[in-house]
């Protein structure tokens, strides 16, 4: 049976389901037990699952991820919460030089998930609003997931926890309490690497993920009133990429707009654009276009933050321009 829940509630239920279903699953994070987490996502978990499985840690991200890696190698399935995903940079060495390379170096799997609130839209400034996806895309051995829907927040977190490799799971905090959707807790886990077609069309393809997906869908609806039918592909996973789905939509429409919340320079859109240009050149009727955040730290002021991120109007303008190419 399905019911309407928030994005945050979907993440919470996925964690609870995993704790109930698999005794190897443990949660580690700052203030996640007694306080219930910065966003109250794990509120009640300490009483429900006990201090051996919901563990408050010191404010030391390097030690937190290091402990999770050791626990994962010892047979557990640790899920690490970054209070804000921005602070994952403190654990960069643990993730890239150790966790990501263990399987390659000596066949040792590291089944950990590092999850946390990501992105802007809540006017939290540069220390609490980053999208860190591109930072880890150049590290073989790490998987990166960015769910955009309530159902995916649930099913893809289950899939990440089941995955034998380290997964970085980016939750868009702007969606935590604003996005509601149907959730069927009986749905199967979704492993990283599978995109989802959210809208069909033949005028051009919009490729996006995370919170930007919803702005893309809204812009596509507005464009439809002008006779422009956009196909919208939700990547859901940035590493691995669902290249088959990307190439299929490019072949269908011949024009591509990539929209993401991370900065333009060095963002995931650049890699996707390069893959399309290299493998789908003969299918293209126009240059691949990217629309992303400005290359600035995310401002505190609401007006400046809004100006730094792609808006629905910006996406609609790009749709018009690209279809007229």
Catalytic residue among 17, 103, 128, 252: 128
- Maximum pairwise Cα distance, the chain: 60
The DSSP result for 88-149, as a single string, is GGGGHHIIIIIITTHHHHHS-----EEEEEE-SSS---TTS----HHHHTTSTT-EEE---S
Is 103 part of the annotated catalytic residue set? no
Q: Is 36 left (phi over 0), alpha (psi -120 to 50) or beta?
A: left
Residue in 157, 257, 271, 265 with CA at minimum distance from that of residue 208: 257
Q: Whole-angstrom Cα distance, residue 226 to residue 132?
A: 35
Nearest of 221, 110, 233, 234 to residue 172 by alpha carbon = 234
Cα torsion through 325, 272, 81, 295, rounded to 10: -60
Is residue 86 within 8 Å of residue 127, measured between CB atoms?
yes
Cβ–Cβ under 8 Å, residues 80 and 114: yes
Tokens representing residue 21 in the block = 């279903």
**DSSP assignment, residue 235?**
-
Integer Cα distance of 209 and 170 in angstroms: 11
The DSSP symbol for 314 reads H
Cα(196)–Cα(209) distance, integer angstroms:
10
β-bridge pairing 230-234 and 196-199: antiparallel
Which residues carry out catalysis? 128
């Amino acid at each position: 049976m399905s019911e309407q829940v928030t994005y945050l509630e979907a993440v919470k239920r996925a964690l609870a389901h995993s704790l109930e279903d698999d005794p190897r699953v443990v949660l580690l994070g700052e203030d996640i037990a007694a306080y219930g987490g910065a966003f109250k996502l794990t509120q009640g978990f300490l009483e429900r699952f006990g201090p051996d499985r919901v563990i408050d840690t010191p404010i030391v991200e390097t030690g937190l991820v290091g402990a999770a890696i050791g626990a994962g190698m010892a047979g557990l399935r640790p899920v690490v919460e970054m209070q804000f995903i921005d602070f994952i940079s403190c654990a960069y060495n643990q993730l890239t030089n150790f966790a990501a390379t263990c399987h390659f170096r000596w066949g040792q799997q590291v089944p950990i998930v590092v999850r946390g609130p990501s992105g802007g839209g809540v006017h939290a400034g540069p220390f609490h609003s980053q999208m860190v996806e591109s930072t880890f895309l150049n590290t073989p051995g790490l998987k990166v997931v960015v769910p955009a829907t309530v159902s995916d927040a649930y099913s893809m977190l289950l899939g990440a926890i089941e995955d034998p490799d380290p997964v970085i799971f980016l939750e868009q905090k702007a969606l935590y309490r604003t996005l509601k959707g149907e959730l069927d807790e009986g749905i199967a886990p979704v492993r990283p690497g599978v995109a989802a077609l959210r809208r069909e069309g033949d005028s051009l393809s919009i490729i996006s993920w995370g919170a930007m997906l919803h702005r893309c869908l809204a812009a596509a609806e507005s464009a439809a009133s002008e006779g422009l039918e956009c196909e919208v592909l939700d990547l859901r996973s940035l590493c691995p990429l669902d290249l088959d789905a990307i190439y299929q939509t490019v072949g269908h429409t011949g024009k591509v707009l990539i929209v993401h919340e991370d900065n333009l320079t060095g963002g995931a859109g650049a890699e996707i654009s390069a893959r399309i240009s290299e493998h789908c050149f003969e299918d293209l009727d126009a240059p691949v276009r990217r629309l992303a955040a400005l290359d600035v730290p995310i401002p505190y002021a609401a007006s400046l933050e809004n100006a730094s991120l792609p808006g629905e109007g910006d996406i609609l303008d790009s749709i018009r321009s690209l279809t007229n190419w």
